[in-house]
Amino acid sequence: MSKNTQPLSDIEIARNATMQPIQDIADKLEIPSDHILNYGKHRAKISREYVEAQSDRPNGKLILVAGITPTAAGEGKTTTSVGMGDGLSRIGKKVAICLREPSLGPCFGMKGGAAGGGYSQVVPMEEINLHFNGDFHAIGAAHNLLSAMIDNHIYWGNELELDCRKVTWGRVMDMNDRSLRQLTVGLGGVFNGYPRTDHFDITVASEVMAIFCLANDLKDLQERLGNIIVGTTRDGKDIYARDIKAVGAMTALLKDAIQPNLVQTMEGTPCFIHGGPFANIAHGCNSVIATKTALKHADYVITEAGFGADLGAEKFFDIKMRKSGLKPDAAVIVATIRALKIHGGAEQDKLGEENLKALEDGFVNLKRHVSNTRKFGVPVMVALNSFSADTQAERDLLLGLCEQAGISAVESDHWARGGEGAEALSQAVVDMIDNEPANFEFLYNAQLSLWGKTRTIAQELYGAEDIIADKKVRNQFEALEAKHGDLPICIAKTPLSFSTDPLLKGAPSGHVVPIREVRLSAGAGFVVVVCGDIMTMPGLPRKPAAESIYVREDGEIEGLF
Amino acid sequence: MSKNTQPLSDIEIARNATMQPIQDIADKLEIPSDHILNYGKHRAKISREYVEAQSDRPNGKLILVAGITPTAAGEGKTTTSVGMGDGLSRIGKKVAICLREPSLGPCFGMKGGAAGGGYSQVVPMEEINLHFNGDFHAIGAAHNLLSAMIDNHIYWGNELELDCRKVTWGRVMDMNDRSLRQLTVGLGGVFNGYPRTDHFDITVASEVMAIFCLANDLKDLQERLGNIIVGTTRDGKDIYARDIKAVGAMTALLKDAIQPNLVQTMEGTPCFIHGGPFANIAHGCNSVIATKTALKHADYVITEAGFGADLGAEKFFDIKMRKSGLKPDAAVIVATIRALKIHGGAEQDKLGEENLKALEDGFVNLKRHVSNTRKFGVPVMVALNSFSADTQAERDLLLGLCEQAGISAVESDHWARGGEGAEALSQAVVDMIDNEPANFEFLYNAQLSLWGKTRTIAQELYGAEDIIADKKVRNQFEALEAKHGDLPICIAKTPLSFSTDPLLKGAPSGHVVPIREVRLSAGAGFVVVVCGDIMTMPGLPRKPAAESIYVREDGEIEGLF
């Protein structure tokens, strides 16, 4: 293949983009320049004072982009969010996109960048992927300050009588580092504290991250931080972050970070990228503050939820909407023919071949996600994210299957053509919002028991027959019920299947969801129900992406993606 | 005392300051606005492309501010640096100040802020003290990426045959956290790596920090990072960061951080604050890149060295000047009457009382620092940093003692009066530079043996009779001599005395300096000679400052200082 026909990599496409000064992007949202805090030429934060003063303005329309059950083939939720933002801009709408911030860890592992792809990207991509405006570092510092103050409290006499075997608050680092998953700290003698078992999570798994993303303002943030439970006394009394007196300093560390970040797509559409909690042990959406800021300044706001809609959209609706008081106006479910073929039994290495049978069989996955999402009273549009290998017969088949099932679906070619490729999709979503007003409802009532809420999710969305747990876990449910029974549920399970078995593709039914553990995130305000192995500190692969990254003589970074 | 007469705290004074837009500050140095990367309204970085393109411009005059041996009474090196910057501005000079960035850890412990004090402060103080422009977080991430890649290399088969008992590269966190001083990582089974002993240092103690501050440009940075030794094989072969293939990604993480940060004093004098290595196991000066940038844009550049001049100035001259090729034009030694009285035997709680005897006895400390500094061929001015409790008799005595000893000294009242209070000092230093051209020389020749260099420092500057070490340490010297014998020495000893006994005040002589350990910082390019207990991970005090920090309703931070 000659150099001319070699497709450009994401980083090459991003580097060729002409960026507008960030003030020009803010002008599109009519945010006064006094309140734009520049971070370099092409990144900004919007001042907290300004953000908090906009609460009386009306909201634009909120559009959630979610996906089918993820496969190795990828679906392109971020790319579609970006493409639709550009598409809406092109058809004359005032629009803002809200995305999560990427984590450093996966960047050096194998995941690659998290700012879209092809001609639907957010820029400046290198800066967004490396440090960005420092939010994750601030969150890590706030988390670890609390950790240090806990051990310091124990060291100086332990007035609160924390049981050092029952300190649940670990430490965090924004790195994929398996060696830190389990460790013994405080070794080396009296001057180094009390030896005890500890663990590091990756920063995105920190409860501080979840709190940061659910807080409505700085005051709310400070209150929620105080509610973090760091461990218990020997007789089981909860000890809170506020007991450790860490909360004011943690808030001071987060004061600037809490201001939403503004960047742009390659076509100049405003994009807020702010916060990025794990989508398993947390809720997996960008910050409430960014979403609210976007809604106050744009007529259409596109945002994204992690994993498939069974996890991402459910948490977006039942956790983020509940905590923020916001309501969604529409949902877009992203699907690809390649991924649906995997759900229908096709093999990864044969996705280049037409396979109508597999596509038809795999369609059940999409259908389930659409019907799940409709249960929240939200109108749904399917975005068929085009790949060049899709055949005409496959595309006709999928669109036909959607039509038969009463599902609106539009093809979108934004990866290759940017906003132009997403115009039809964007117009269809606008029309849907005009013609089909949402009647949003949470899936479950907050007054249901924690067990009842969990069962509702499993039965209604996962197609499960029931949930099960051993006596110890059921006792945990019971113990939490008294004091925290009104909290929403955050399910941590494999994203790779509706069931808890990652190999069960398509739309399995009648399975049972075994619950392994329950964890309280009292600061974030949800109960994490763990179904399966959940990794909160990834490791690096045999050949980490980091080995190929370098800085060229001219200062450009190579190998990042 | 009524509220009107209550003196304002540093943070209150700083908050009352009217800041100029950072572009106006850059204009004073004639740095084109295209190359100013704003970080909020009052902080900026200067673009790397621009900085690296200025190398042919002539340098301004370089003035080092160092101190007498520190005591609990404080000397005020940073405050004097800031005051002199403002003083030089007031007498019509084009000036820039170069300081170190503060570390988060001490902020939450008991040290308080590190941006000057009284009416000689750098602003915005809260932002400079918390996160600033993210450099320390970037340095921490680069350090810990290497750590993760080391353990990952071992995990995936250990092709380099690193002996996991001999990995010397630990991990870092920008926190005072004694529990992390010694730990066991890699616990929990096969999937979590190999169990081994490890340690965390505070980020400022990272060799990456020292490298960052000594690098002349990005390319030099990348090369030096590659030279970091991370451990050895079982048979003692050094393994380098470049063998781990971490260097490109580490450089990518540091690409933005390496750009010098520009802020302002309360009087609008330009101030570069960039880098902040430990002054014991590293050299304790701000970055070479910032100092060079300042010298290319100002006629007078004031910079500061950590601890007393025996450590700070010596390392500034013998390490920073050697690595950068720069030459100093003058040195200012900061002294206070209070501190000299402690050196003369006065007690801390009686410093409010006039004590001419103690002052006269303590003068030897100042005298030694002046004569030490003159050994480098640099003209010296003493800045007598005024305190309101100083009596007229004490001031007369000290100035008289200086005159008798042939030492130029000027009183300076910048803490209370800002630049106006430092005008006389500033004019005196300008006159000294005009009349007494420096004839700078390193204290020792690079070709001396490592042992010989160490002895020269101890005998010439500390007044020691000799240095001693046991066989094991002497063998270490010998082993390093062959391959690294040409490196300069970085002495890690107590800053509280010329000797290694922190209780020996004044100017002890004839003592012996026992060497406990030698460490090679091959990337930074010096050999650390450890004389005494050196703490590279501080702990928090019984009542950490963090407990008193909070964010007010209006968003202002209280309790930080």
DSSP class per residue in B331-386: EEEEE-HHHHHHHTT--GGGTTS--HHHHHHHHHHHHHHHHHHHTTT--EEEEEE-
Burial A254-289 (b: 16+ CB within 10 A, else e): bbbbbbbbbbbbbbbbbbbbbbbbbbbbbbbbbbbb
The confidence band for B164, taking pLDDT boundaries of 50, 70 and 90, is very high
- The secondary structure of residue B39, as a DSSP letter, is B
Per residue in B397-439, pLDDT tens? 999 999 999 999 999 999 999 999 999 999 999 999 999 999 9
Top pLDDT among A17 and B393 is at: B393
Rounded Cα–Cα distance for residues B267 and A255 (Å): 26
The confidence band for A111, taking pLDDT boundaries of 50, 70 and 90, is low
Q: What pLDDT, on a 0 to 100 scale, did the predictor assign at position B112?
A: 56
Q: What pLDDT, on a 0 to 100 scale, did the predictor assign at position A70?
A: 93
Q: What pLDDT, on a 0 to 100 scale, did the predictor assign at position A112?
A: 55
In three-state secondary structure terms, A435 is: helix
Query: In this predicted structure, which of A309-318, B117-126, B154-163, B295-304 has the lowest mean pLDDT?
Result: B117-126
B547 vs A155, A181, A245: nearest CB = A245
Per residue in A354-368, pLDDT tens? 999 999 999 999 999
- The third-level CATH classification (topology) of the domain covering B135-254 is Domain 2, N(10)-formyltetrahydrofolate synthetase (3.30.1510)
- Is the preceding omega at residue A124 within 30 degrees of 0, hence cis? yes
- Beta-carbon separation of B184 and A183 below 8 A: yes
Range A199-203 average pLDDT: 97
| Among candidate residues A274, A243, A249, the one with its CA nearest the CA of residue A261 | A274
Asked whether the beta carbons of A549 and B246 are under 8 A apart, the reply is no
Asked whether the beta carbons of A457 and A489 are under 8 A apart, the reply is yes
- Minimum CA–CA partner of A191 in chain B: B178
Rounded Cα–Cα distance for residues A78 and A67 (Å): 10
Q: Is the pLDDT of residue B1 over 60?
A: no
Q: Is A53 annotated as a binding residue?
A: no
- Cα A442 to the center of its chain, rounded Å: 19
Give, to the nearest 10 degrees, the angle between helix B356-374 and helix B392-404.
Answer: 40
- Beta-carbon separation of A134 and B134 below 8 A: yes
DSSP class per residue in A302-328: EEEBSSSTTTHHHHIIIIIIHHH----
Exposure on the CB side of residue B30, measured as CA atoms within 13 A: 8
Rounded Cα–Cα distance for residues B312 and B315 (Å): 5
Q: Which residues of A touch B555 (CB under 8 A)?
A: 48-49, 218, 255
Instruction: Give this complex's ipTM.
Output: 0.96
Range B220-242 average pLDDT: 97
Range B455-484 average pLDDT: 97
Exposure on the CB side of residue B11, measured as CA atoms within 13 A: 13
Q: What pLDDT, on a 0 to 100 scale, did the predictor assign at position B4?
A: 41
- The secondary structure of residue A439, as a DSSP letter, is -
The confidence band for A6, taking pLDDT boundaries of 50, 70 and 90, is low
The amino acid at A306: G
Q: Is B101 annotated as a binding residue?
A: no
The confidence band for A1, taking pLDDT boundaries of 50, 70 and 90, is very low
Q: Is B483 exposed, middle or buried (0-12, 13-18, 19+ CB in 10 A)?
A: exposed
Rounded Cα–Cα distance for residues A26 and A17 (Å): 18
Q: Is the pLDDT of residue B3 over 70?
A: no
DSSP-assigned beta bridge partners for residue B197:
B184
Q: Is the pLDDT of residue B491 over 70?
A: yes
Greatest Cα pair distance, chain B, in angstroms, is 73
Q: What pLDDT, on a 0 to 100 scale, did the predictor assign at position A511?
A: 97
Rounded Cα–Cα distance for residues A298 and A93 (Å): 8
Positions of E strands within B369-447: 380-385, 408-412
Asked whether the beta carbons of B395 and B413 are under 8 A apart, the reply is no
**Token duo for residue B72:** 């609990």
Q: Is A204 exposed, middle or buried (0-12, 13-18, 19+ CB in 10 A)?
A: buried
Dihedral sign from CA coordinates of A5, A11, A15, A21:
positive
Q: What pLDDT, on a 0 to 100 scale, did the predictor assign at position B277?
A: 96
Looking up tokens 């980083």, which residue turns up?
A11
Per residue in A143-169, pLDDT tens? 999 999 999 999 999 999 999 999 999
Asked whether the beta carbons of B409 and B331 are under 8 A apart, the reply is no
Per residue in A219-245, pLDDT tens? 999 999 999 999 999 999 999 999 999
- Beta-carbon separation of B175 and A138 below 8 A: no
Q: What pLDDT, on a 0 to 100 scale, did the predictor assign at position A8?
A: 81
Rounded Cα–Cα distance for residues B315 and B279 (Å): 9
What CATH number is given for B10-134+258-435 in this structure? 3.40.50.300
Strand order in the sheet with A489-493: A489-493, A526-531, A517-521
Q: What pLDDT, on a 0 to 100 scale, did the predictor assign at position A395?
A: 97
The confidence band for A556, taking pLDDT boundaries of 50, 70 and 90, is confident
Q: Say which residues have a Cβ less than 8 Å from residue B36's Cβ, sequence separation at least 6.
A: B22, B23, B26, B44, B45, B46, B47, B262
From first CA to last CA, the distance across chain B in angstroms is 21
| Among candidate residues A299, A324, A283, A332, the one with its CA nearest the CA of residue A489 | A283
Range A337-346 average pLDDT: 96
Query: In this predicted structure, which of A102-116, A203-217, B263-277 has the lowest mean pLDDT?
Result: A102-116
Q: Which residues of A touch B145 (CB under 8 A)?
A: 108, 175, 546
Q: What pLDDT, on a 0 to 100 scale, did the predictor assign at position B479?
A: 94
Q: Which residues of A touch B180 (CB under 8 A)?
A: 171, 185
Q: Is A303 annotated as a binding residue?
A: no
Looking up tokens 């949930």, which residue turns up?
A467
The phi and psi torsions of B360 (rounded to 5 degrees) equal -65, -40
- Minimum CA–CA partner of B193 in chain A: A179
The average confidence (pLDDT) of chain B is 95
In three-state secondary structure terms, B486 is: coil
Tell me how many residue pairs between chain A and chain B have CB atoms under 8 A apart. Answer: 244
Query: In this predicted structure, which of A10-24, A445-459, B267-281, B282-296 has the lowest mean pLDDT?
Result: A10-24
The H or E element spanning position A126 is: helix A125-129
Asked whether the beta carbons of B490 and B521 are under 8 A apart, the reply is yes
Q: Is A78 annotated as a binding residue?
A: yes
Q: Is A92 annotated as a binding residue?
A: no
Q: How far is A179 from chain B (nearest CA, A)?
A: 4
| Among candidate residues A470, A447, A449, A466, the one with its CA nearest the CA of residue A458 | A466
**Token duo for residue A53:** 């003063």
CATH 3.10.410.10 describes domain B450-531: yes
Q: How far is A219 from chain B (nearest CA, A)?
A: 7
The average confidence (pLDDT) of chain A is 95
- Beta-carbon separation of A145 and B546 below 8 A: yes
Q: Say which residues have a Cβ less than 8 Å from residue A51's Cβ, sequence separation at least 6.
A: A259, A260, A289, A292, A293
Tell me how far CA of residue A492 lies from CA of A72, A481, A515, in angstroms: 20, 19, 10
- Minimum CA–CA partner of A144 in chain B: B175
Annotated catalytic sites of A, by residue?
A: 77, 79, 100, 111, 279, 307, 387, 415
Per residue in A502-515, pLDDT tens? 999 999 999 999 99
| Among candidate residues A93, A206, A140, A210, the one with its CA nearest the CA of residue B203 | A140
Domain boundaries, chain B: 10-134+258-435, 135-254, 450-531
Range A449-454 average pLDDT: 98
Q: What pLDDT, on a 0 to 100 scale, did the predictor assign at position A153?
A: 98
Q: Say which residues have a Cβ less than 8 Å from residue A268's Cβ, sequence separation at least 6.
A: A20, A24, A25, A28, A89
The phi and psi torsions of B427 (rounded to 5 degrees) equal -65, -40
pTM of the shown model = 0.96
β-strand pairing of B196-198 with B183-185:
antiparallel
